[in-house]
Amino acid sequence: MTPSQVALIWAGLVGIVAILCGLRVRRRLHLCVGFALYLLAVVVTESLALVDPDRFHKAWFYIWKEAVLNLLKLAAGAELAWRVFRGFPGAWWRARFVLAPLLALTTLALVTLPRGSTAHDLVFGYQAQVNTGAIWLLACTAVLAAWFHLPLHAVHRAILAGLGGYLALSAALLEWMRVGGLYDDPNARVAIGLVNSAAYSLMLGWIAVAAWQPSEVAVRMLPPALLARLKLDPA
């Protein structure tokens, strides 16, 4: 690993710790359990690669890591959709017709990874598709919430925008590498990896700010009964 790669990994780890601490301090961990688990999995897997690169900076570990992280990303997206719509049965009933096929298709793309696949197969055959499916899930959640006029917690908005933005950029970069045949060029691979990691750190910073911010004035002003009706957390 180059020094810039190590620095970006550390930046990402700091961002994740900042998010988890923010969620814990503001008592918001229950708002996004799936996303918190995803972040914890990133911390564990990246730490292993940092601590013992000879053992864990390998293709087999990369494949397992990405498979687990992809599953957790999808779970986080599904949980986010459920938390946004759960207080509104009518909206949830309609949203399921859009969100369920998206989730099913993306999961299918993920679990159909054949045995013996290489890191190259994973990155260029599946990762972009899974990322694209996850973006559609997040985008449809946001669009349907706005259409049905549902309240969205600030942390949920930050995750939707941050994770959606990062996944779109990541998918576009991977596809660009595949189409341009840049995978075989080590310099291009490192440069694109750096851009990807920088975008990831930016996303984490964006969500960390939302995790630490005090709750919005409009939410704090609502009577407790209405907060309960809207399944909104005053935290």
* 8 A C-beta contact, residue 42 and residue 12: yes
Name every residue whose Cβ is closer than 8 Å to that of residue 206 and which is 6 or more positions away in sequence: 158, 161, 162
Q: Is 165 in the site for another protein (CB under 8 A)?
A: yes
Q: Which two tokens stand for residue 102?
A: 């998206």
Smallest distance, another protein to C-beta of residue 223, A: 7
Using the rule CB under 8 A, give the single segment among 32-40, 68-76, 91-99, 191-199 that binds another protein. 91-99
* Residue closer to another protein, measured from CB, 51 or 179: 179
**Is residue 103 a contact residue for another protein (CB under 8 A)?**
no
Answer whether 147's CB lies under 8 Å from 196's CB: no
Binding to another protein (CB under 8 A) within 29-88 occurs at: 88
Q: Which is nearer to another protein, 97 or 115 (CB)?
A: 97
Contact characters 122-161, another protein, x per CB under 8 A: ------xx-xx--xx-xxx-xx--xxxxxxx-x--x--xx
Q: Sign of dihedral through CA atoms 75, 79, 80, 81? A: positive
CB 233 to another protein: min, Å? 13
Among residues 87, 217, 212, which one has the least CA distance to residue 158?
Answer: 212
Q: How far is the CB of 27 from another protein (least distance, A)?
A: 19
Tokens of 83: 């938390």
Helix (H) or strand (E) holding 158: helix 154-180
Q: State both tokens at 70.
A: 């992809």
Closest Cα to residue 42, out of 220, 185, 218, 207?
207
Residue 233 per-residue DSSP state = -
Binding-site size for another protein (CB under 8 A) equals 47
**Within the chain, what is the greatest distance between any pair of CA atoms?**
60
Cβ 180 to another protein, closest distance in Å? 10
181 binding another protein? (CB under 8 A): no
Q: Which stretch binds another protein (CB under 8 A): 35-43, 67-75, 90-98, 105-113?
A: 90-98
Binding-site member from 115, 179, 181, 186 for another protein (CB under 8 A): 179
Q: 49 CB contacts (<8 Å, ≥6 apart)?
A: 9, 56, 57, 61
Instruction: Report the interface residues with another protein, using CB under 8 A.
Output: 88-91, 93-94, 128-129, 131-132, 135-136, 138-140, 142-143, 146-152, 154, 157, 160-161, 164-165, 167-168, 171-172, 175-176, 179, 216-219, 222-223, 225-226, 229-230
